[in-house]
Structure 1
Amino acid sequence: MDALHEVDSKLNSMAEEFIGKTQRHADPLKAASIHQEAIEQLSAQLVQQVSVKNLFMYANQWGETLKTRQMEGGKDQTLLRAKNDILERALRVKSVDYLREVVPFNTNIAQHALFSANPRGSSKQVTSTVYGVRNVYIKHTTGEVLTTYEARVMGAIQSLWFKKNINGSANGSASVELKYADILTEMGLSDGSANYKRIQEALMRLMNIEVTLTQYQRSKNAEYEEIALTRLIDQIVFRRKIGTSNHYQYKFEIRLPEWLVEANREGNLFDVSLILMNDLKSYLSQGLYWLVSSYPEEPSVTLELSTLAGHFHFLDDDREPIMPVFKIVERIKQACEELQTVGFIDQFEFSGKKQGLLERYLTVTKNPVFLNGPVRSVKDQEEPLQLDLF
């Protein structure tokens, strides 16, 4: 039995159990109470017994069929309604799990093309201009790139800064004292020295890479946009015992750049789930989740494929694809399918031209559950024009 048939078999058994529990009561109030309790109990069991991937895959492939068959009526209508109710409740439970631990993140960082979804294909150039949703100029002595792992580390730092520094108030310094374990907890990863080393390497890349944000805004309702020549981390202070050569303590201090601190205070933020990102296997699906989330009030987000390709570093400095176009499109499609698998999006579609990347568009429609999260940002104004500096 394949995974989806196994989910269907479990749903059938649970629906039959539900019917057995609820159809014996004539009192409508008591029946309604038992109905709700049974749905919650059985959906919780389904979440425990079925992986999130199979749960959302089943919903994506068979969910609409179940609803259609239920609307058509027939002798199985009660069973189909029970299956639908249990499935929908289970999907909501899992989606809410993702939203339970969200991180406030700065829109400037998410919408500038900072993070590569193709780190192994980096040209290793010392400087480069990346054309994405918002263009960015990147400078690094070794030509290294930032990946979505660094984005997740940055998200954890942002979250901890909010928790430890201002806690929702308008005050707070640029510095925050952290431990490796703090960052790993925010990211939903296990504690351990191997992860400490990876976190430290990510911190050093975030500090060493210079970036020019061409459309930096302190808040979404700002009257002006600015150009910020900066780093994502201003300073890191490690500690070690005097007389030792390389054994740093697990506690250290990070100082955020002043532009980011001020933008955080102004509320130019959206919410993102680092836990959900753990369930995404590819860099591109992580990056696309990050980018689409940065439009928190939009049920659907439409982006040109050339913009997406540039945003995730699939174009060179001459804006030419670094791989065949069909491979870029296939990777974008696979990323969307993975976002469906974890339930972040309901559907996606391509439109416009059939060939190339220009005038060819991707529209992603979010799962409504993610529109109801505790979004902190204010309503977007009209997108500012790109500034081409270099």
Structure 2
Amino acid sequence: MKEFNEIESCLDDITSEFLKRTRKIGDPLKAATIYQETVDELSTKLIQIVPAKSLFMFANQYIDSVKTQQHDNESDAARAKAKVEILERALKVKSVEYLREVVPINRNIAQHALFSANPKNVPNQPTTTVHGVRSVHIKNNTGEVLTTYEARVMGAIQSLWFKQNIDGKPYVELKYADILNELGLTDGSANYKRIQEALMRLMKIEVTLTQYQRSKDSEYEEIAFTRLIDQIIFRRKVGTTNHFQYKFQIKLPEWLVEANRVGNLFDISLILMNDLKSYLAQGLYWLVSSYPEESTVTFELQTLAGHFHFLDDNEPIMQVYKIVERIKSACIELQAVGFIERFEFKGKKQGLQDRYLTVTKNPIFLNTLAQSRELIPEQLEFFPDPS
């Protein structure tokens, strides 16, 4: 691949510079300091030259193969070691950029099957039950679904709420430009319109969180009938029909405000999501991130397909191999931005049931402090089919 050849050539030049600058330093302590400083400097130089996605994609193919190579002499081994260290340091620096501003999200939002990764498949019926990691009942008169774009907008609102609300009030004052800034997108009227449409869907679509909350050893569990946004207040100039201010107010539902106070949260990077092109990669990033203390996460493909709305009445809406291809492509995207180190499919070779996806995260994306997992109850069939 031409691009990879260019990256390797660039890495070769930087490695040669590194070896020249760290050669023949007699004092071991001074040598170690210069070695590390030079790795840091040249890895920064590498990420300034090579785009992040290209760097991660190159590294996914390159690092493991270099580590396993046999070298004929000490010089070749030292060069290979330096290459790997420079590249690994560059990847770590880029990952830290993604994590510089993270947004705390409630686990119920990620683990209930709220957001479709297949937005063209809009159901005709005004109500539907979607079975996923935690299933959800969705009611909307227009039959529209929420997509991972709405998930990102919701994440931006959460971020702004945390920045503004020291006393935990449910309201947040914001402008379209504030949301765009959180999302890392450019300012402009086209984006304003898209955000407004997303806000209206988040407010209008009713959802039933079937596994919302259950205390340990409790006889009862809570089922939340709610929306993700409780209220939007726009301001319009008196005597006009369309002269709206760009500034408006959003009220979060009480369950979400309380959940934010309690801290049943995990972190995501909205900036990282900009580098994920497919809805499924974005949704899978949210879902995997919602297990912040686990380095490896496994899902049955049937559960994943349901979670992202690729099933209708528990049957695939497209050929199974196409669903599997989309899941695989999403994982490759997550590798490309460095969120996961590797993934593999296990279990049956055909179909979706008893066939599993296991993803291993890049350690830098793990929470350093383990969070206590709420007890997930048995799935409720809250809206059983009349048949």
TM-score normalised by the shorter chain: which range applies?
A: over 0.9
Match of 2:60 in 1: 60
Task: Identify which of 353, 356, 365 aligns with 1:361.
Answer: 356
Is 1:247 equivalent to 2:240 in the alignment?
Answer: no
Task: Identify which of 338, 345, 348 aligns with 1:350.
Answer: 345
What's the secondary structure of 1:120's corresponding residue? coil
Residue 247 of structure 1 deviates from its aligned partner by 2.5
What's the secondary structure of 2:69's corresponding residue? helix
What amino acid does structure 2 have at the position aligned with 1:49?
I
Is 1:259 equivalent to 2:252 in the alignment?
Answer: no
What amino acid does structure 2 have at the position aligned with 1:213?
L
Residue 125 of structure 1 deviates from its aligned partner by 2.1
Match of 1:136 in 2: 136
Output the TM-score relative to the length of structure 2: 0.95
Residue 382 of structure 1 deviates from its aligned partner by 4.4
Task: Identify which of 282, 288, 303 aligns with 1:286.
Answer: 282
- CA deviation profile, 1:329-370 (whole Å, cap 9, x unmatched): 010000001100111001111111111111111001101111
What's the secondary structure of 2:360's corresponding residue? strand
**Residue correspondence of structure 1 range 222-371 to structure 2 within 5 A:** 225-316=221-312, 318-371=313-366
Structure 1 Cα separation of the partners of residues 148 and 304 of structure 2: 15
Conserved? CA contact 2:347–2:356, under 8 Å: yes
Is 1:216 equivalent to 2:212 in the alignment?
Answer: yes
Match of 2:382 in 1: 389
Structure 2 Cα separation of the partners of residues 349 and 73 of structure 1: 35
Q: Does the C-alpha gap of structure 1 residues 246 and 71 become closer, same or farther in structure 2, counting only changes over 3 Å?
A: farther
Structure 2 Cα separation of the partners of residues 81 and 91 of structure 1: 15
Structure 1 Cα separation of the partners of residues 308 and 233 of structure 2: 31
What's the secondary structure of 1:16's corresponding residue? helix
Match of 1:16 in 2: 16
Q: Does the C-alpha gap of structure 1 residues 339 and 222 become closer, same or farther in structure 2, counting only changes over 3 Å?
A: farther
Q: Does the C-alpha gap of structure 1 residues 190 and 102 become closer, same or farther in structure 2, counting only changes over 3 Å?
A: same
Q: Does the C-alpha gap of structure 1 residues 81 and 222 become closer, same or farther in structure 2, counting only changes over 3 Å?
A: farther
Is 1:47 equivalent to 2:47 in the alignment?
Answer: yes
Residue 158 of structure 1 deviates from its aligned partner by 0.6
Conserved? CA contact 1:102–1:274, under 8 Å: yes
Structure 1 Cα separation of the partners of residues 288 and 70 of structure 2: 33
Residue 75 of structure 1 deviates from its aligned partner by 3.6
- CA deviation profile, 1:285-332 (whole Å, cap 9, x unmatched): 00000000000011010000000000000001x211000001000100
What amino acid does structure 2 have at the position aligned with 1:334?
S
Conserved? CA contact 2:137–2:207, under 8 Å: yes
Structure 2 Cα separation of the partners of residues 104 and 10 of structure 1: 37
Conserved? CA contact 2:300–2:354, under 8 Å: yes
Conserved? CA contact 1:39–1:86, under 8 Å: yes
Structure 2 Cα separation of the partners of residues 7 and 70 of structure 1: 22
What amino acid does structure 2 have at the position aligned with 1:278?
N
> Which moved further from structure 2: 81-90 or 241-250?
241-250
Structure 2 Cα separation of the partners of residues 221 and 42 of structure 1: 51
Residue 73 of structure 1 deviates from its aligned partner by 6.0
Residue 142 of structure 1 deviates from its aligned partner by 0.5
What's the secondary structure of 2:316's corresponding residue? coil
Residue 120 of structure 1 deviates from its aligned partner by 0.6
Match of 1:178 in 2: 174
How many residue pairs are counted as aligned between the two chains?
Answer: 382
What's the secondary structure of 2:382's corresponding residue? coil
Is 1:378 equivalent to 2:371 in the alignment?
Answer: yes
Conserved? CA contact 1:217–1:225, under 8 Å: yes
Match of 2:190 in 1: 194
What's the secondary structure of 2:165's corresponding residue? helix
Structure 1 Cα separation of the partners of residues 190 and 86 of structure 2: 40
Runs of 4+, deviation exceeding 4 Å:
70-74, 220-224
Structure 1 Cα separation of the partners of residues 237 and 375 of structure 2: 53
Conserved? CA contact 1:221–1:380, under 8 Å: no
> Which moved further from structure 2: 355-364 or 20-29?
20-29
Structure 2: runs of 5 or more not aligned:
none
Structure 1 Cα separation of the partners of residues 90 and 83 of structure 2: 11
Give aligned-pair identity as a percent. 69
Structure 1: runs of 5 or more not aligned:
none
Match of 2:95 in 1: 95
Question: What is the RMSD of the two structures over their aligned residues, measured on CA atoms?
Answer: 1.7
Structure 1 Cα separation of the partners of residues 58 and 335 of structure 2: 11
What amino acid does structure 1 have at the position aligned with 2:376?
E
Structure 1 Cα separation of the partners of residues 72 and 57 of structure 2: 23
Residue 221 of structure 1 deviates from its aligned partner by 7.0
Structure 2 Cα separation of the partners of residues 285 and 72 of structure 1: 42
Structure 2 Cα separation of the partners of residues 89 and 180 of structure 1: 37
Output the TM-score relative to the length of structure 1: 0.95
Match of 2:106 in 1: 106
Structure 2 Cα separation of the partners of residues 122 and 72 of structure 1: 60
Conserved? CA contact 2:211–2:376, under 8 Å: no
Q: Does the C-alpha gap of structure 1 residues 79 and 197 become closer, same or farther in structure 2, counting only changes over 3 Å?
A: same
Structure 2 Cα separation of the partners of residues 346 and 71 of structure 1: 25
Residue 81 of structure 1 deviates from its aligned partner by 0.9
What's the secondary structure of 2:358's corresponding residue? strand
What's the secondary structure of 1:119's corresponding residue? coil
What's the secondary structure of 2:315's corresponding residue? coil
Structure 1 Cα separation of the partners of residues 168 and 363 of structure 2: 34
Conserved? CA contact 2:216–2:375, under 8 Å: no
Conserved? CA contact 1:70–1:80, under 8 Å: no
Conserved? CA contact 1:301–1:365, under 8 Å: yes
Structure 2 Cα separation of the partners of residues 72 and 97 of structure 1: 38
